[in-house]
Structure 1
Amino acid sequence: MRLTLVAPPWNSLYRPSIQIGTLAALEDEKEGDPITPVYAYLDWFEYAVGALECDPAEFVTVYDTIGEELYGLGVGDWIFGGVLDAHERRAGRPAPGGVAPREAGPEEQRARARYADFLTEHGVARELVARIVELRSVAPRFVEVLAERLLATGAECFGFTTSFSQLMPALAVARALKDRAPERLVLLGGANCDRPMGQAVMRAYPFVDAVVQGEGEAAVAAVRAARTLGDLAAAPGLVLRHEGELRVSLPAVQPAESAPVPRYAEYFERLRALPHSELITPHVALPFQMSRGCWWGEKLQCTFCGENGSGMVYRSKPGGRLTETLRRLTEEHGVFDTYAVDTILARNDNGLAELAEAEVDVTTFFEVKANLGPRELGEMRAAGVTMVQPGIESLSSSALKLLRKGATAFHNLRFLVLCEELGIDAQWNLLSAMPEESAAMLQEQLRLIPFITHLAPPSTVSKVRVDRYSPYFEKPDEFGIALSGPEPKYRFVHSGRLPAAERTELAYSFDHVEQVRRSDGTAAEMLALRRRLGARVGLWKKLHEQSRFTFRFGPEMTVLHDRRPHVGTGRHILRGGDDQLFRCLVHGGRLHQAVAQVGAMTGQPEDRVRETVRAWARRGWIHLEGRRGLVLAVRDGMRDELGRAAELRERTAEAGTAAEAATVDGSGRVSAGQ
């Protein structure tokens, strides 16, 4: 079958869809009918700017906000859900072309008013709410235009990728396609169709012919080779209708190396033809993938993480493929910013050392664990990694243990110090309200934050969410919680005519209640502490640009500059034992070793050295955790970041610095080695 692959809104404007780019690349590697990629989210950008007669630069901001920040409120899906609602209200009397009438009837007006109130209650600015309602009013005509364009490709099958806010846009267009050409096939895939969610899509929306569960390469190969729907009966990962029931084929788990380098030519072709493309083109980054699944999740899945669904099994391409992949992508498209979509960076053969040696000026992004030390981060920066998402989640070791993060506050703070030193942008979130959270965990972080305003603040502070496929969802009793139903956004995203049970099956995120309180504070006290934490992080963000806490090494002395707002103590010169003690704790060190070394070198009593350690901790110069200490200041060695990266990655392991490789096993115990 001739196949058209569609990437609907709200994919990032600045990234070609890696899902359809990877599947489209199969056309070059395997025999079968042609594949046509369509970047419909770029079409939507052009259409919405014209339909609303708005400033394109303003709409870029609106689009980014809806796609990146308002996913949790279901905004992107709700905008297109009105097309399906209108179809249901017509009760089998479709308007010409199968699209909703332009004027909103009383029921639609009520739906818009209820959702506008919902958004306002959740802090969305009224001006943005008004724009969101406007977008819903113009979405039906866009769906009509896009459906006609897709049919003109001559494809016999239309495949939609659906992640995050793409489900309702895909369903709206699929409905319009089936109204016009019932004989053409529509299938959906992506995260919104994994495992039971895909079968729920089939039951709730009978115009969908099939869904792909799990990875899509085998299913796409089967579609290209098929001539009829019956030929797909045994295709891996497909859910099909058969005699009034759903027939489910188990998904195939692909080796990572079998995935081709994505094909992005059609994205750039569409981008060049896009009015106002100058707002997008300078910020484009090329997605690539080196691994699938999560090696940490295989060992001990984070309690709140449902990201991998059926694809937790970790598979990685040989590290040498990294440089090859980035060379090919950047040379083909003339774009040197890249973006790894991997859940987690490979531990060993990740290709960064080879990339660091390659003569290419490529920048890239990876998701990583935060227990990486100076050598690993130095290697990453030397390889052109300028942005990371470390999954820090908390600055309390006790809270991190509850979340099964496999790291401690020591690791997270060391990571942030090193990123500041190396010029790596660390993007992270702070979580609270996890089951069994205590007042002490929140107070610990409240005390710490004033001392670390010079380090990268979290992007958001949010309550832990219960997502499908996470341990919280799969085994709520184990964590003392009870699921209380899908998050409220699903009442608006899916039509009110959809039974509650079906909305539950379609949902990914769920509300919950804690059945047994094991906190050291009352509910009111805990709420007050969480609000204080959010406010203090807000202040952290405001102070960050002006906050500095740096040091420089000199001959037998260290000069410390402490210009942190409210807690800074100015300029200090450390000599003798203080200089040696400080150096022992830069990037982390064992306290007993540092104290013994200083005592042996200077003749100071160890009790006096330990008192210095405690005094520095009170000032926030160092962070103490168990038997380790970490200097919170950032080295200003008067070198550029790449010079520091080269120095760190060449550092050899010594017995006295074994703490740099410390990790935490699943029980929370600290162990040496990585």
Structure 2
Amino acid sequence: MKLVLVAPPWNSLYRPSIQIATLAALSTEEQGDPISAVYGYLDWFEYAVGFLECDPEQFAAVYDTIGEELYGLGVGDWIFGGGLPGAGDADEASATAEYGAFLREQGVDEEIVADVLRLREAAPRFVADLAERLVDDGAECFGFTTSFSQLVPSLAIAVAIKERAPDRLVLLGGANCDRPMGQAVMHAYPFVDAVVEGEGEQAVNALTRAKSVDDLAAVPGIVLRHEDGLRTALPTIQPVESAPVPKYDAYFERLESLPWGDLIAPHVALPFQMSRGCWWGEKLQCTFCGENGSGMVYRSKPGSQLVDTLRTLTERHGAFNTYAVDTILAKNDNGLAALADAEVDITTFFEVKANLGPREVGELRAAGVTMVQPGIESLSSGALKLLRKGATSWHNLRFLVLCQELGIDAQWNLLSAMPDESAEMLEEQLRLIPFITHLAPPSTVSKVRVDRYSPYFEKPDEFGIELRGPEKKYRFIHRGEGVDRTALAYSFEHGQQAGKERDDDAAMLALRRRLGARVGLWKKLHAQSRFSFRFGPNVTVVHDYRPHVGTGRTVLRGADDLLFRSLVHGGRLMQAVGRVGEQTGTPESRLHERVSEWAACGWVHLEGRRGLVLAVRDGMRDELGRAAALRGSDAES
């Protein structure tokens, strides 16, 4: 079958879809009919700018807000929901009024609400135009990728295709079609001919060789209609080596034809993949995380392929910013050392575990990693234990210090309201924040969600959780009568089970609000906050200009100098005190007192037997020079 793969809104404008580009690349490796890729989200960008008659740069910001910040409210899906079966049975004016009220209740800015409502008006004509163009292409099968807010846009385009060409095959895949959600999509929307549960390489290879739907019956992961029900072939875990280097030619061709492509092109980051699954999740899945669905088993390409992959992508497309879609950086054989030694001007992004030490973070920066998403989630060791993060507050703070020192942008989130959270967990973070305003603040502060596939969802009783059905947004997204929203939903309303309520819930709510407010102040103060030090031959100068808590300029000599140095990037207190006492003849009691003084003024963070200097080294070298020094360091891991 001739196959067209479609990436609908709301994929990031600045990243070509790795899902369809990887599958499209199979056509150069396997025998079968051709595969083409359509970047529908770029088409939507062009169409919406014209419909709204607005400045393209202004709409790019609106697009990003809808696709990224408002995903949790279902905005991107709702905009395209008017054309779905069942949605038209209700009065559109009432549906629009109800959803607008819902967004305002959630604190969405009135200008954004107005844009959302107008985009709902624009969607049907766009969908019709795109469907006609796809049908005219003559393809026999149309496959849609559906991650995040792409499900309803895919369904809207799919039903428009079927209205024009009932004989064409419509197939959906991606995260929104993982088990059991894919089968729920087929039950709710009869115009969908098939879904792919799990990874798509085997399904796409089979599609390009198939002569009819009957040839797909035994392909792993494909769910087909059969008589009055569904016929399912269970998905298999595939080796990640089977995934080719993505082909982004179609994205760049469309970008070149876009009237405002110059707004997007300088910021494009090329996605790549070195692994699938999560090695930490295999060992001990984070309680709130449902990210990998049925694909938790960790598989990684040999690290030697990293340099080759990035060279192939950057040389082919002339873009030097890259973006790893891996859930987690490989522990060993991740290819970073070779990438650092390659001395190419490629920048990249990885999701990482936050307990990386100085050597590992130095290697990240030396390899061109300029942005990371660390799984920090909290600055309370007690809360981190509840979340099964496998790290402590000490690890997370050390990571933030290292990122600040090396110029790595750390994008992280702060979670609260997890089961069994205590007041002390919140209070210790409230006490800590004034001392770390020089470090990167969290992007968001939010309550823990219950997502499908997470331990909270799979074993709610274990955590005292009562599941109360799909989040409210699904009432607006899937409006049809008889639709099983519970089976379609990814995120769920929840509360504490009967008998688990706390007497101090009001006090806990007040603490969480204070934490949110304090993080807001952290964000405001971050740009002006400075806490750094410089080493001399036998002296250390500390510059502490953190708002409200700073101590100014301090010169450390002798035992104080050596003690401070021993806790830079972390050290064991007893070893540091013993070594400095032996070298200088200073009583250990005096050194312990000094550490306590430093902890009281937020110079040092103490946890158990370890201490960590919270100041950032200003060695007057460039970031790569400092990274190279750290790669050879012997600081505690």
One fold, TM greater than 0.5?
yes
- Cα distance in 2 between the residues matched to 1:607 and 1:478: 46
- Structure 2 counterpart of 1:100: none
Q: Does 1:62 align with 2:62?
A: yes
Say which of 573, 579, 583 aligns to 1:601. Answer: 583
CA contact under 8 A between 1:484 and 1:510: conserved in structure 2? yes
- Give, as a single letter, the amino acid of the residue that structure 2 aligns with 1:186: V
Say which of 359, 375, 378 aligns to 2:362. Answer: 378
Aligned-pair identity in percent equals 76
- Cα distance in 1 between the residues matched to 2:499 and 2:525: 36
Say which of 602, 605, 611 aligns to 1:629. Answer: 611
Question: What's the secondary structure of 1:339's corresponding residue?
Answer: strand
- Give, as a single letter, the amino acid of the residue that structure 2 aligns with 1:308: N
- Structure 2 counterpart of 1:24: 24
- Cα distance in 2 between the residues matched to 1:378 and 1:170: 42
CA contact under 8 A between 1:557 and 1:573: conserved in structure 2? yes
Matches within 5 A, 1:271-350: 271-350=255-334
Q: Does 1:529 align with 2:530?
A: no
Structure 1 residue 521, shift from structure 2 partner: 6.7
Question: What's the secondary structure of 1:267's corresponding residue?
Answer: helix
Say which of 584, 594, 615 aligns to 1:612. Answer: 594
Structure 1 residue 254, shift from structure 2 partner: 1.2
Structure 1 residue 275, shift from structure 2 partner: 1.1
- Cα distance in 2 between the residues matched to 1:287 and 1:161: 15
Structure 1 residue 556, shift from structure 2 partner: 1.0
- Structure 2 counterpart of 1:590: 572
- Structure 2 counterpart of 1:669: none
Question: What's the secondary structure of 1:546's corresponding residue?
Answer: coil
- Structure 2 counterpart of 1:642: 624
- Cα distance in 2 between the residues matched to 1:302 and 1:468: 13
- Give, as a single letter, the amino acid of the residue that structure 1 aligns with 2:30: K
Instruction: From the superposition, tell whether residues 258 and 496 of structure 1 become closer, same or farther in structure 2 (CA, over 3 Å).
Output: closer
Instruction: Please list the CA deviations of residues 277-310 of structure 1 after superposition, one character each: whole Å capped at 9, or x if unmatched.
Output: 1111110000000000000000000000000001
Instruction: Please list the CA deviations of residues 67-116 of structure 1 after superposition, one character each: whole Å capped at 9, or x if unmatched.
Output: 01000000000000111157653xxxxxxxxxxxxxxxx81001000000
- Structure 1 counterpart of 2:339: 355
Say which of 176, 192, 198 aligns to 2:182. Answer: 198
Matches within 5 A, 1:215-614: 215-499=199-483, 502-515=484-497, 522-614=504-596
CA contact under 8 A between 1:438 and 1:519: conserved in structure 2? no
- Structure 1 counterpart of 2:115: 131
TM-score by length of 1: 0.93
- Cα distance in 1 between the residues matched to 2:11 and 2:68: 9
- Cα distance in 2 between the residues matched to 1:131 and 1:41: 17
Structure 1 residue 517, shift from structure 2 partner: 7.1
Question: What's the secondary structure of 1:310's corresponding residue?
Answer: coil
- Cα distance in 1 between the residues matched to 2:325 and 2:263: 23
- Structure 1 counterpart of 2:129: 145
- Cα distance in 2 between the residues matched to 1:515 and 1:495: 29
CA contact under 8 A between 2:86 and 2:479: conserved in structure 1? no
Instruction: From the superposition, tell whether residues 118 and 381 of structure 1 become closer, same or farther in structure 2 (CA, over 3 Å).
Output: same
- Give, as a single letter, the amino acid of the residue that structure 1 aligns with 2:552: G
CA contact under 8 A between 2:178 and 2:198: conserved in structure 1? yes
- Cα distance in 2 between the residues matched to 1:455 and 1:3: 49
Question: What's the secondary structure of 2:320's corresponding residue?
Answer: coil
- Structure 2 counterpart of 1:36: 36
- Cα distance in 2 between the residues matched to 1:281 and 1:558: 45
Question: What's the secondary structure of 1:192's corresponding residue?
Answer: helix
Question: What's the secondary structure of 1:64's corresponding residue?
Answer: helix
- Give, as a single letter, the amino acid of the residue that structure 2 aligns with 1:606: E
- Give, as a single letter, the amino acid of the residue that structure 1 aligns with 2:59: F
Question: What's the secondary structure of 2:527's corresponding residue?
Answer: helix
Instruction: From the superposition, tell whether residues 629 and 517 of structure 1 become closer, same or farther in structure 2 (CA, over 3 Å).
Output: farther
- Cα distance in 2 between the residues matched to 1:184 and 1:489: 31
CA contact under 8 A between 1:186 and 1:209: conserved in structure 2? yes
- Cα distance in 2 between the residues matched to 1:201 and 1:116: 26
Q: Does 1:13 align with 2:13?
A: yes
CA contact under 8 A between 1:4 and 1:38: conserved in structure 2? yes
Instruction: From the superposition, tell whether residues 85 and 55 of structure 1 become closer, same or farther in structure 2 (CA, over 3 Å).
Output: farther
- Give, as a single letter, the amino acid of the residue that structure 2 aligns with 1:334: G
- Give, as a single letter, the amino acid of the residue that structure 2 aligns with 1:465: R
Structure 1 residue 519, shift from structure 2 partner: 8.8
Instruction: From the superposition, tell whether residues 519 and 582 of structure 1 become closer, same or farther in structure 2 (CA, over 3 Å).
Output: farther
- Structure 1 counterpart of 2:145: 161
Structure 1 residue 55, shift from structure 2 partner: 1.2
Question: What's the secondary structure of 1:560's corresponding residue?
Answer: strand
Structure 1 residue 252, shift from structure 2 partner: 2.2
CA contact under 8 A between 2:450 and 2:456: conserved in structure 1? yes
CA contact under 8 A between 1:290 and 1:342: conserved in structure 2? yes
CA contact under 8 A between 2:81 and 2:87: conserved in structure 1? no
Instruction: From the superposition, tell whether residues 86 and 139 of structure 1 become closer, same or farther in structure 2 (CA, over 3 Å).
Output: farther
Structure 1 residue 155, shift from structure 2 partner: 0.5
- Cα distance in 1 between the residues matched to 2:262 and 2:567: 48
Structure 1 residue 497, shift from structure 2 partner: 2.2
RMSD of aligned C-alpha atoms?
1.1
Structure 1 residue 514, shift from structure 2 partner: 1.3
Question: What's the secondary structure of 2:319's corresponding residue?
Answer: coil
Report the number of matched residues.
Answer: 637
- Give, as a single letter, the amino acid of the residue that structure 2 aligns with 1:83: G
Question: What's the secondary structure of 1:25's corresponding residue?
Answer: helix
- Structure 2 counterpart of 1:74: 74
- Cα distance in 1 between the residues matched to 2:501 and 2:137: 60
Instruction: Please list the CA deviations of residues 310-363 of structure 1 after superposition, one character each: whole Å capped at 9, or x if unmatched.
Output: 110000000000000000000000000000000000001000000001131000
CA contact under 8 A between 2:464 and 2:500: conserved in structure 1? no
Matches within 5 A, 1:47-126: 47-84=47-84, 88-89=88-89, 107-126=91-110
Instruction: Please list the CA deviations of residues 405-439 of structure 1 after superposition, one character each: whole Å capped at 9, or x if unmatched.
Output: 01000000000000000000000000000000000
Q: Which runs of 5+ in 2 are unaligned?
A: none
TM-score by length of 2: 0.99
Structure 1 residue 236, shift from structure 2 partner: 1.1
Instruction: From the superposition, tell whether residues 644 and 534 of structure 1 become closer, same or farther in structure 2 (CA, over 3 Å).
Output: same
- Cα distance in 2 between the residues matched to 1:177 and 1:646: 55
- Give, as a single letter, the amino acid of the residue that structure 2 aligns with 1:40: G
Structure 1 residue 270, shift from structure 2 partner: 0.2
- Give, as a single letter, the amino acid of the residue that structure 1 aligns with 2:80: F
Q: Does 1:3 align with 2:3?
A: yes
Question: What's the secondary structure of 2:167's corresponding residue?
Answer: coil
Question: What's the secondary structure of 1:437's corresponding residue?
Answer: coil
- Cα distance in 2 between the residues matched to 1:208 and 1:20: 18
- Give, as a single letter, the amino acid of the residue that structure 1 aligns with 2:456: Y
Q: Which runs of 5+ in 1 are unaligned?
A: 90-105, 662-674
CA contact under 8 A between 1:436 and 1:518: conserved in structure 2? no
- Give, as a single letter, the amino acid of the residue that structure 1 aligns with 2:312: R
- Cα distance in 2 between the residues matched to 1:85 and 1:637: 63
Structure 1 residue 496, shift from structure 2 partner: 4.8
Instruction: From the superposition, tell whether residues 521 and 456 of structure 1 become closer, same or farther in structure 2 (CA, over 3 Å).
Output: farther
- Cα distance in 2 between the residues matched to 1:548 and 1:8: 44
